[in-house]
Structure 1
Amino acid sequence: MVDPALERARLRLRAAGRRMKFRRGQTLMSFGESSEDVLLIESGSLKVVLSERNGAQVVAGPYGPGELIGELGVLEHRPRSATVIGHHGGAAVRVSARAFRDLVEQDRDVLVLLNATLRARLHNADRRQLAIASQDVTTRVAAQLLAWAHAFGDRVGDEIVVSGIVQGDLAKAVVASNKSVDAALKTLRGKGLLRTGRLRYVLPDADSLEVFLRDRN
């Protein structure tokens, strides 16, 4: 069910910003640069690349239509903490930092959207840390693919297709080596829960994958 307050907030952000198109692989925000605007995704998807203290990179997202990107840096007047890259080509609305801060202060609906965004970020971060601490790589890979399938997968009959993700990004998302992820994918394929191709992950039966995850938790 669509929350009317969130939709009103997005309408106000669209009115305050300017629409831009982006392509796959395009960098829209770079780590360390000044936080001068916020993005509201209209179509397509974006991924966020985080650099950890040990030098490793973690991929968050992809984030899709209706989501905000870059809001924390703008609100806290600090540089970008991550790099934002086009995952699937699409469009977004750029809202200047000043306009976004004014809307947060003056418009209750925009504040509701901001709070919903921050809660979702915190929930996802907590879930990721719990998964890293308590789940094996096969479970983490299955859970991540299922989450992506529900978020932006394309349904083809009874199957759900997740496309456009390289295996390296999947490995970064679940904080595992490429070799471990390769073994996990082989396990899932062997159980008939997954088919893979170039930049393509096919879930023949998402319900069966959910049962697999419940049995492992």
Structure 2
Amino acid sequence: MGEALPWRTDHTWPAGTYLSQLSQEARQAIFEAGSQVTYGPDELLFREGDPASYLLVIRTGLAKVTASSESGQETLLAIRGPGDVIGELSALEKTPLRSATVAPAGHVTAWRVSHRAFFHLAEEHPDLGTALFRVVTAKLRSATVARVEVHTYSVRVRLARVLLTLADSLGHPHDGGTVLDVALTQAELAALVSASPVSVARALSEFRRAGMLESGYRRLTLRDRAALTEVAHGS
């Protein structure tokens, strides 16, 4: 870690991410205050239970956020990408320990900013704090919606919605389809939709037979977004 990385304050970040909601001046301030770090595939960004004294803003790459149950089983909670902030809850709650583990899906580069430096900057640039609260609120709202959907929609509907969301935030066009840029196991997809791996496997098989989806080893390609959107709407 610790490799110097070039940055641009006028870079366009994905909509809804933390950096996309900041002014150019605020982005420059947080870039200059943070240390630029690189994580390899086998290096954790955070480990659940470790001391929490800084947050990270992802520059490139994808990271998986997981948490352990009392039995020790790990569950995938979310996937974060360029422009996203992670480790912010421990800063806002002033919690001394990490509540989740964050692992890179490949290589990740980020800006590392101490909690103290961040809140000092937020006094000079109020939109740093405002944007952070917006991001946290959006995450909490998404979690609430997911809990409601578990009791309202079938696995196939929930899976279609998750696949479309992942395609919008983590996908790239390829050969007439959209390839997801993060490798996900069926167990991880099942965790994202709060379903059993068997139910998710059944839904994926249905989507493949209908020509909506292609899958290989830890690789998913959306072939028919219109049809998947119909499923996501409950059709």
TM-score, normalised by the number of residues in structure 2: 0.84
Please name the residue that 1:42 is paired with.
59
Question: How many residues matched?
Answer: 216
Letter in 1 for 2:184: I
The ranges of structure 1 where at least 4 consecutive aligned residues each deviate by more than 4 angstroms after the TM superposition are 1-4, 52-56
Q: Which runs of 5+ in 1 are unaligned?
A: none
Please name the residue that 1:127 is paired with.
145
Please name the residue that 2:132 is paired with.
114
Aligned 8 A contact 1:38 1:71 in 2: yes
- Provide the C-alpha distance between the structure 2 equivalents of 1:9 and 1:65, rounded to a whole number of angstroms: 17
Rate the CA distance shift 1:60–1:47 in 2: closer, same or farther, 3 A. Answer: same
Question: How far does residue 49 in structure 1 lie from its aligned partner after superposition?
Answer: 0.4
Please name the residue that 1:201 is paired with.
220
Rate the CA distance shift 1:215–1:4 in 2: closer, same or farther, 3 A. Answer: closer
- Provide the C-alpha distance between the structure 1 equivalents of 2:21 and 2:102, rounded to a whole number of angstroms: 28
Q: Which runs of 5+ in 2 are unaligned?
A: 1-11
Aligned 8 A contact 1:5 1:112 in 2: no
Greater shift after overlay, 20-29 or 61-70?
20-29
Question: How far does residue 53 in structure 1 lie from its aligned partner after superposition?
Answer: 5.6
- 3-state SS of 2:122 partner: helix
- Provide the C-alpha distance between the structure 2 equivalents of 1:6 and 1:122, rounded to a whole number of angstroms: 24
Please name the residue that 1:210 is paired with.
229
- Provide the C-alpha distance between the structure 2 equivalents of 1:121 and 1:50, rounded to a whole number of angstroms: 16
Letter in 1 for 2:55: V
Question: How far does residue 98 in structure 1 lie from its aligned partner after superposition?
Answer: 1.1
Question: How far does residue 106 in structure 1 lie from its aligned partner after superposition?
Answer: 3.5
| 1:155 partnered with 2:166 | no
Letter in 2 for 1:92: A
- Provide the C-alpha distance between the structure 2 equivalents of 1:54 and 1:153, rounded to a whole number of angstroms: 33
Indicate the structure with greater strand content.
1
When the two chains are superposed, the root-mean-square deviation of aligned CA atoms in Å is: 2.1
Please name the residue that 2:206 is paired with.
187
Indicate the structure with greater helix content.
1
Greater shift after overlay, 168-177 or 40-49?
168-177
Rate the CA distance shift 1:207–1:26 in 2: closer, same or farther, 3 A. Answer: farther
Rate the CA distance shift 1:51–1:128 in 2: closer, same or farther, 3 A. Answer: farther
